[in-house]
Amino acid sequence: MNAIFRRRFLAALVLGGIVLTPTVGVAPPEAQSTDSRYAAIVVDAASGEVLFSRFADARRFPASITKVMTLYLAFEALESGKAKLDDNLTVSPRAASQPPSKLGLAAGQTISLDDAMRATAVRSANDMAVVIAEHIGGSEGRFTQMMTEKARELGMEHTRFTTANGLPDTRQATTARDLSILSRAVMRDYPQYYRYLGLHDWFYKGRDYRNTNGLLATGRGYDGIKTGFTNASGYNLAASSVRDGKRIITIVMGGRSTASRNAHVAELMDTGFEVQRRRGQGENIQLAQAFFEQRGYGVSSDPAPVAYASLSDEDGEGVGSSTEVAYVSGPPPRSLPTEVTPPPSARRAENRPPESLTAALNGGSAAAPTPPARATRNPPARAAAPAPAPAPAPAGRWTVQVGAFREEAVARDWLNNVSRRFSSQFSNAQRDVQTANGWYRSRFTGMTQQAAEAACEALSERRVTCMVVRPS
């Protein structure tokens, strides 16, 4: 009964066009759904100009991006002479007891400050962040006080630190804007040490560790900064890229997967550099935010929230969860879909993230017609093959939407991927990619209400965003 009430309440919010946004200063931060966790900001690193922002001042959980401040204070200690790269740090029982991701040294073992910083930046090692905190601050508690004091000094007005590694603590919160301030500060104040946050890999005691930030290896000018993930935060990323002598910093919080988050960051970053390029060519772009919004970022023509579809968790820093299912009634669309694409063949290579994955769940539209059956060809010197049986009539008029994308190929691949992974839930459904208003909507159509609701529940259990669309 409670589940039915939640669904009807959510439907009422969506149908009424009500948007609930987190309030600055309220603790703990909202973390119940993708919509409440999402935040983003794009900043010109040189001037500090905010090119784009969305919920940039809403309180969020920083997760492992916390470690950027831990390293900032380590860099400060190195510059002041209070610490040296070859200092031997002893692993305490408290540090050794930290959960993964971790380097895994036992209590009593030692490691140099240099290696501890590399482990923190590349491996996102929770134990090494505590080792650094204890070495510089005397205790993690004292060190986190130093972290919060430094945040205030830098102008991070809505940030409080209670852990050195970003593990879950409802008292620890920040904003996307504050993380952009921290990112600029570490580049500006310690350029000689910023390289730690851009290391692609690190070899230690016979093992090669690769950076959790997959954008570093894309060849698009990315040189830092830090990933982060907890169940409450979603997939976070602070990223920096330099192209044509200009640097842009992008922060995205609350992503649904590593792949979708990385792709969203890349799209925001590309748009930011497009603004810079056009300005360099003499185009008068006074308000960059409007430039982003004209391309669909930060605004939605439909009442449903922005969401990121996910089938797997790839950061290696934990596993997220979201069990909300959105039920919406399909309002009369402003314009009917201009094209219906038949189901694609499986072209996506395993583990290859889509190149463009800024997904949003949009309102319902008219059900798509069934694609025509392909004619069979008569082989030479043989009897004609019997015509295929006509497709069965749809069992119902309900639809399950699993995402909407700016790229048709991405929408096709995602629909095929979900169909393959959840074949039992969609065995009697039709697969359609429908286009309307610049979005390619990945949908399973021709379902009964019971089948659609059960399928969406199954997807939600696997942290795959979905939406049940009632018949219009």
Question: What's the angle, vertex CA 47, arms to CA 44 and CA 48, rounded to 5?
Answer: 60
* CB-based contacts of 382, cutoff 8 Å, min separation 6: none
Number of H helices, E strands in the chain: 12, 15
Tokens 């966790």 locate to 37
**Radius of gyration of the chain measured on its C-alpha atoms:** 24
Shortest CA distance to 56 belongs to which of 269, 263, 273, 253?
253
- φ, ψ of residue 135 to 5 degrees: the values are -70, -40
- Using left for φ > 0, alpha for ψ between -120 and 50, and beta otherwise, residue 400 falls in beta
Shortest CA distance to 398 belongs to which of 360, 425, 371?
425
- Active-site choice (33, 64, 233, 419): 64
In contact, 261 and 255? CB cutoff 8 Å: yes
Distance from C-alpha of 194 to C-alpha of 198, rounded to nearest angstrom:
7
**124 given a catalytic annotation:** yes
- Active-site choice (124, 183, 240, 365): 124
Shortest CA distance to 49 belongs to which of 228, 249, 254?
249
In contact, 173 and 25? CB cutoff 8 Å: no
- Active-site choice (67, 102, 150, 226): 67
State the helix-helix crossing angle for 126-137 and 66-80, rounded to 10 degrees: 40
**33 given a catalytic annotation:** no
* CB-based contacts of 166, cutoff 8 Å, min separation 6: 61, 62, 63, 64, 65, 66, 67, 126, 129, 172, 228, 230
* CB-based contacts of 347, cutoff 8 Å, min separation 6: 412, 413, 416
Distance from C-alpha of 421 to C-alpha of 139, rounded to nearest angstrom:
47
State the helix-helix crossing angle for 140-154 and 66-80, rounded to 10 degrees: 90
Instruction: Please give the structure tokens belonging to residue 392.
Output: 């069965």
H or E segment to which residue 327 belongs: strand 326-329
**64 given a catalytic annotation:** yes
Q: How many CB atoms lie within 10 A of CB 371?
A: 14
Shortest CA distance to 182 belongs to which of 200, 203, 161, 213?
161
Amino acid code (one letter) for 253: M
Which residues lie across from 39 on neighbouring strands?
A: 253
Q: Which residues are catalytic?
A: 64, 67, 124
